[in-house]
């Protein structure tokens, strides 16, 4: 548990980096400090391992005042991941990862064995052990940075905008990797970012900082998106917070319709019984394995000669689907919006159609969670 008690940082020139921070970071789980530039989020993070000394207040780690510990000793017990990885260019990947164990006085063979374990944990190939940092891609370097921070198995991991210097695709994969690692290790992670999407994705708790170094709101991501405390937080979260909030609600609660789903061997007149006019304008056609094939409109059914199988008609693409078991309302809404029929196709884990949901039905589901 990390507690800030009135912690503040004022520089000699009068700049206030952190005004007066009272905050408790519970053990386990990921706490994200998020805010625009100059909001004191990085300064607050760096106060935890004494890279920045507070000018007022106290910071405790598990009840102990950090000022009573030697800074270098304290830092060896807290993992730290920096933007651009900060790898030592003159050391191999393996020796970079073994740095903290060696500082703690481990024997070299033991430290290297531990480093090799960590390479596997963060998804690096053993062949990369003998490489130097400049021979790795940005994403690989950041994996080494995470492995180095975890090498001595510290209970706390501080991450200072670790993924902001890599491209969006790599960033997403690093975020996924961190979520997986955290499920396995359950460290107390404090993560700094200026990206609210990253915060919502990774955080169990989010602390939003405002310019001038004040804490604006400290809440779970779900509550933060539902109830921003003031105009600043609301504008920082962004205009589509309502839609983003839907990612916290499962799509499994939606009632899916099966009566508008037809086999591609079925005759046109069978679909016409259900699908007609403006009331029910679309039918979904699936193959024998219930894999989706495409949409057919009521107008097409009207024009088609009787006796023709649905599969022979010109089908509109079904777009992308959502997985009923694991996806959120947000994914279902996205699928509906992008579908030419305005309806989302719900599938099971194997991609077989479970049913379809219209925007109207989605709307009432969204309405009910907003209550």
Strands 205-210 and 214-219: what pairing?
antiparallel
38 binds another protein (CB under 8 A): yes
Give the residue, chosen from 30, 39, 188, 339, that forms a contact with another protein under the rule CB under 8 A.
Answer: 39
319 binds another protein (CB under 8 A): no
The conformation of residue 284, written as its DSSP 8-state character, comes to: E
To the nearest whole angstrom, how small is the minimum distance from the Cβ of residue 9 to another protein? 7
64 binds another protein (CB under 8 A): no
57 binds another protein (CB under 8 A): no
The conformation of residue 315, written as its DSSP 8-state character, comes to: P
Residue appearing with tokens 């760096």: 46
CA distances from residue 289 to 39, 257, 354 in whole angstroms, order as listed: 55, 18, 12
Nearest to 97 by CA among 110, 86, 84, 111: 111
112 binds another protein (CB under 8 A): no
Q: Is 91 exposed, middle or buried (0-12, 13-18, 19+ CB in 10 A)?
A: middle
Report 137-156 residues binding another protein (CB under 8 A): 138, 141, 145, 148
188 binds another protein (CB under 8 A): no
73 binds another protein (CB under 8 A): yes
Instruction: Number of residues interacting with another protein: please give it, by CB under 8 A.
Output: 45
Do residues 2 and 176 lie in contact, with contact meaning Cβ atoms separated by under 8 Å?
no
Q: Which residues of 180-200 are buried (b: 16+ CB within 10 A; e: fewer)?
A: ebbeeeebbbbbbbbebebbb
Give the residue, chosen from 30, 31, 46, 146, that forms a contact with another protein under the rule CB under 8 A.
Answer: 46
84 binds another protein (CB under 8 A): yes
Give the residue, chosen from 100, 304, 332, 362, that forms a contact with another protein under the rule CB under 8 A.
Answer: 100
Of 34-42, 252-260, 268-276, 304-312, which part binds another protein (CB under 8 A)? Answer: 34-42
132 binds another protein (CB under 8 A): yes
Binding mask 262-281 for another protein (x = CB under 8 A): --------------------
Residue appearing with tokens 């599969």: 311
User: Which of 43, 188 has the CB closer to another protein?
Assistant: 43
For residues 259 and 276, what is the distance between their CA atoms, to the nearest angstrom? Answer: 13
170 binds another protein (CB under 8 A): no
For residues 335 and 318, what is the distance between their CA atoms, to the nearest angstrom? Answer: 9
Residue appearing with tokens 């991941």: 81
Of 120-128, 132-140, 260-268, 312-320, which part binds another protein (CB under 8 A)? Answer: 132-140
Do residues 194 and 203 lie in contact, with contact meaning Cβ atoms separated by under 8 Å?
no
Give the residue, chosen from 30, 99, 217, 321, that forms a contact with another protein under the rule CB under 8 A.
Answer: 99
Helix or strand or coil: residue 142? helix
Give the residue, chosen from 28, 29, 57, 86, that forms a contact with another protein under the rule CB under 8 A.
Answer: 86
To the nearest whole angstrom, how small is the minimum distance from the Cβ of residue 76 to another protein? 4
The conformation of residue 45, written as its DSSP 8-state character, comes to: H
């Amino acid at each position: 548990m990390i507690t800030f008690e009135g912690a503040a940082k004022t520089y000699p020139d009068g700049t206030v980096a952190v005004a007066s921070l009272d905050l408790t970071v519970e053990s386990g789980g990921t706490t994200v400090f998020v805010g625009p530039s100059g909001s004191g989020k990085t300064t607050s993070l760096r106060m935890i391992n004494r890279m920045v000394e507070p000018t007022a207040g106290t910071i405790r780690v598990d009840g102990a005042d950090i000022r009573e510990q030697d800074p270098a000793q304290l830092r060896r017990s807290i993992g730290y991941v920096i933007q651009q990885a900060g790898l030592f260019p003159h050391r191999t990947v393996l020796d970079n990862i073994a740095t903290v164990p060696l500082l703690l006085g481990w024997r070299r063979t033991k430290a290297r064995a531990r480093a090799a374990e960590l390479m596997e944990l963060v998804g690096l190939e053993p062949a990369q052990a003998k490489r130097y940092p400049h021979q790795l891609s940005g994403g690989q370097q950041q994996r080494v940075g995470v492995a180095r921070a975890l090498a001595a198995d510290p209970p706390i991991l501080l991450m200072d905008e670790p993924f902001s210097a890599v491209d969006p695709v790599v960033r997403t994969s690093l975020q996924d990797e961190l979520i997986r690692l955290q499920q396995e290790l359950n460290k107390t992670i404090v993560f700094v970012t200026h990206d609210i999407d990253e915060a919502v994705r990774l955080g169990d708790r989010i602390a939003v900082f405002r310019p001038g170094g004040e804490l604006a709101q400290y809440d779970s991501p779900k509550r933060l998106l539902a109830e921003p405390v003031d105009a600043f937080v609301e504008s920082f979260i962004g205009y589509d917070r309502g839609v983003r909030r839907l990612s916290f609600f499962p799509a499994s609660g939606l009632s899916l319709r099966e009566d508008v789903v037809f086999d591609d061997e079925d005759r046109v007149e069978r679909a016409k019984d259900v699908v007609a006019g403006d009331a029910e304008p679309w039918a979904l056609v699936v193959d024998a394995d219930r894999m989706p094939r495409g949409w057919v409109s009521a107008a097409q059914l009207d024009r088609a000669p009787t006796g023709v199988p649905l599969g022979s008609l010109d089908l509109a693409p079904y777009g992308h689907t959502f997985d009923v078991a694991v996806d959120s309302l947000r994914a279902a809404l996205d699928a509906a919006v992008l579908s030419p029929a305005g309806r989302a196709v719900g599938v099971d884990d194997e991609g077989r159609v479970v049913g379809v949901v219209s925007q109207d039905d989605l709307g009432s589901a969204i309405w009910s969670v907003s209550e």
